[in-house]
């Protein structure tokens, strides 16, 4: 059975790797010359996710993370060490390692931009020439602006915008990520610093609108960040984050990764949920309906609670964040797992005083 996969980054490579084991004939189309370009990712994943990626030849660790500092808008913060540790990966390196491994089980066509898809045939441009390739199954691993999703009329996820810089930054502790909450620093989400080493971090904002305006405010006015960030930056990336898993299978066409909204709704992290997606696709192939059913069955709880947490970012006011940081200073976060937002349930049950502030969590 022949499978065409559009997109050769994390979703496309993991799809090829999982289908390659099922004896499918896989062809991957990637419009860029290299995988992983342009980079728009902080590269923060759980240790468990990293270990599973290691099985596919990934060796791209930049830093190990013990926990997070949650900042209120006034610059106060609380330390949270959860159940899972984190790893920061160099995304470009990771993507190229995955694609190299995928090329052992699939035919990978770089600089090949898919410009049209119909039932049974992909049209792509390589070296300025239009070519066609037939398929039995088509997988759209082509990101938020998926041409596959648009061509087959799939519902699209909501889009949040992101901007990220690589900058000199004096981390409070380079083994902790920093999360900045409040309406001055994002509309409906949060800003972050993911340290790579003692004085270098990926600093970004995810927001419904105007992430650049919020980033400038974070850099220039945040009571803690503005004191610790260097002047200028080494890299600037912009990106989009899909929020909300959509129906991702229609007949012989499936979406995976960002194109399907396989992203944690409360952090924007997509690597882990995509890894699970590709594993489930591999196990259920060639039954695409079974793929959709099994993925949703396995993940619905995480999307449900992830979306509930994300909605809090829209409803909480600055004074609520001040109150939360105050209350949380003597709480234990050991039940919280970064890949499992459903773990918040146990945390809330053990710490009911949080519910005084997070009163919108339960209907
Ligand atoms: C600022 C920012 C920070 C992030 N930080 C994290 C993080 O810390 N941890 C985490 O887990 N996730 C993070 N994410 C999310 C993560 O980057 C994505 O979920 C992940 O990259 C999705 O992978 P993908 O393969 O589905 O899509 P993409 O990475 O978008 O890859 C799609 C690929 O398809 C190719 N393509 C598109 N159209 C065509 C076409 N027509 N023909 C051929 N090729 C095509 C593109 O060139 C691209 O290579 C972040 C996102 C942003 C924007």
The answer to whether the CB of 15 is under 6 A from ligand 1 is: no
Residue minimizing CA distance to atom 45 of ligand 1: 7
The answer to whether the CB of 43 is under 6 A from ligand 1 is: yes
At the fourth CATH level, which superfamily is domain 2-60+89-157+243-309?
FAD/NAD(P)-binding domain (3.50.50.60)
Radius of gyration of the chain (CA): 21
CA neighbor of 170 nearest in space, from 128, 225, 248, 113? 225
HEC states along 95-117?
A: HHHHHHHHCCCCEEECCEEEEEE
Look at 348 and 287; give whichever has higher pLDDT: 287
pLDDT at 50: 98
Chain segment 166-207, per-residue pLDDT in tens: 999 999 999 999 999 999 999 999 999 999 998 999 999 999
pLDDT at position 362 over 70? no
Indicate if the alpha-carbon torsion angle 261, 262, 263, 266 is positive or negative. Answer: positive
pLDDT at position 22 over 90? no
pLDDT at 21: 77
pLDDT band at 349 (very low <50, low <70, confident <90, very high): confident
191-194 long-range Cβ contacts below 8 angstroms, 24+ apart: 191/215, 191/218, 191/222, 192/42, 193/169, 193/225, 194/42, 194/43, 194/44, 194/65, 194/88
CA neighbor of 124 nearest in space, from 143, 135, 111? 111
The answer to whether the CB of 114 is under 6 A from ligand 1 is: yes
Chain segment 311-335, per-residue pLDDT in tens: 999 999 999 999 999 999 888 899 8
Report the share of the chain in percent with pLDDT over 90: 86
124 cis-preceded (ω within 30 degrees of 0): no
Domain ranges for the chain, please list them: 2-60+89-157+243-309
Chain segment 250-303, per-residue pLDDT in tens: 999 999 999 999 999 999 999 999 999 999 999 999 999 999 999 999 999 999
Q: Distance between CA 309 and CA 305 in Å, rounded?
A: 6
Distant-in-sequence, close-in-space partners of 111: CB < 8 Å, separation ≥ 6: 30, 31, 32, 33, 126, 127
Write down the H helix ranges in the chain.
Answer: 10-20, 47-54, 91-102, 147-151, 211-221, 225-228, 271-284, 288-315, 318-328, 344-350
Q: Any idea what DSSP says for residue 71? A: E
What's the whole-number mean pLDDT along residues 232-244? 92
Q: Which residue is associated with the tokens 């996710």?
A: 49
Q: Are strands 235-243 and 158-168 parallel, antiparallel or unpaired?
A: antiparallel
pLDDT at 39: 77
Look at 159 and 335; give whichever has higher pLDDT: 159
Q: Listing from the earlier edge strand, what are the strands of the sheet with 176-180?
A: 77-80, 67-71, 176-180, 191-197, 200-207, 158-168, 235-243
pLDDT band at 345 (very low <50, low <70, confident <90, very high): confident
Task: Give the Å distance between the CA of 98 and the centre of ligand 1.
Answer: 13
pLDDT at 36: 65
pLDDT at 363: 58
The answer to whether the CB of 276 is under 6 A from ligand 1 is: no
Chain segment 85-143, per-residue pLDDT in tens: 999 999 999 999 999 999 999 999 999 999 999 879 999 999 999 999 999 999 999 99
Q: Distance between CA 82 and CA 66 in Å, rounded?
A: 8
pLDDT at position 351 over 90? no
The answer to whether the CB of 258 is under 6 A from ligand 1 is: yes
What's the whole-number mean pLDDT along residues 54-77? 97
What's the whole-number mean pLDDT along residues 56-79? 96
The answer to whether the CB of 142 is under 6 A from ligand 1 is: yes
Looking at every residue in the chain, the average pLDDT score rounds to 94
CA distances from 210 to 167, 214, 221 (A): 20, 7, 16
Q: Are strands 253-255 and 137-140 parallel, antiparallel or unpaired?
A: parallel
């Amino acid at each position: 059975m022949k499978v065409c996969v559009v997109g050769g980054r994390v979703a496309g490579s993991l799809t090829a790797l999982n289908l390659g084991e099922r004896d499918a004939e896989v062809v991957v189309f990637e419009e860029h010359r290299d995988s992983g370009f342009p980079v728009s990712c902080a590269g923060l994943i759980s240790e468990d996710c990293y270990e599973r990626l290691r099985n596919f030849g990934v060796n791209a660790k930049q830093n190990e993370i013990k926990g997070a500092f949650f900042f209120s808008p006034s610059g106060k913060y609380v330390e949270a060490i959860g159940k899972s540790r984190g790893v920061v990966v160099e995304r470009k390196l990771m993507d190229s390692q995955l694609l190299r491994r995928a090329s052992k089980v699939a035919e990978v066509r770089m600089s090949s931009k898919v410009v049209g898809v119909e039932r049974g045939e992909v049209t792509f441009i390589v070296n300025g020439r239009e070519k066609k390739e037939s398929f039995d199954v088509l997988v759209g691993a082509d990101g938020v602006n998926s041409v596959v999703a648009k061509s087959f009329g799939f519902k699209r996820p909501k889009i949040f915008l992101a901007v990220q810089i690589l900058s000199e930054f004096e981390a409070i502790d380079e083994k902790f990520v920093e999360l900045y909450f409040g309406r001055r620093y994002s509309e409906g989400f949060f800003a972050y610093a993911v340290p790579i080493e003692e004085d270098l971090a990926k600093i970004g904002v995810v927001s419904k609108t105007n992430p650049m305006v919020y980033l400038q405010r974070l850099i220039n006015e945040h009571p803690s960040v503005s004191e610790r960030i260097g002047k200028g930056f080494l890299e600037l990336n912009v990106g989009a984050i899909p929020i909300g898993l959509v129906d991702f299978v229609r007949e012989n066409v499936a979406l995976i990764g960002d194109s399907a909204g396989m992203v944690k709704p409360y952090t924007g992290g997509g690597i882990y949920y995509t890894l699970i997606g590709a594993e489930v696709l591999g196990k259920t192939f060639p039954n695409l309906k079974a793929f959709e059913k099994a993925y949703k069955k396995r993940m619905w709880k995480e999307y449900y609670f992830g979306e509930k947490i994300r909605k809090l970012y829209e409803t909480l006011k600055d004074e609520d964040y001040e109150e939360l940081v105050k209350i949380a200073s003597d709480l234990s976060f050991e039940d919280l797992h970064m890949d499992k937002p459903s773990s918040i349930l146990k945390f809330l049950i053990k710490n009911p005083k949080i519910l005084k502030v997070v009163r919108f969590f339960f209907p």
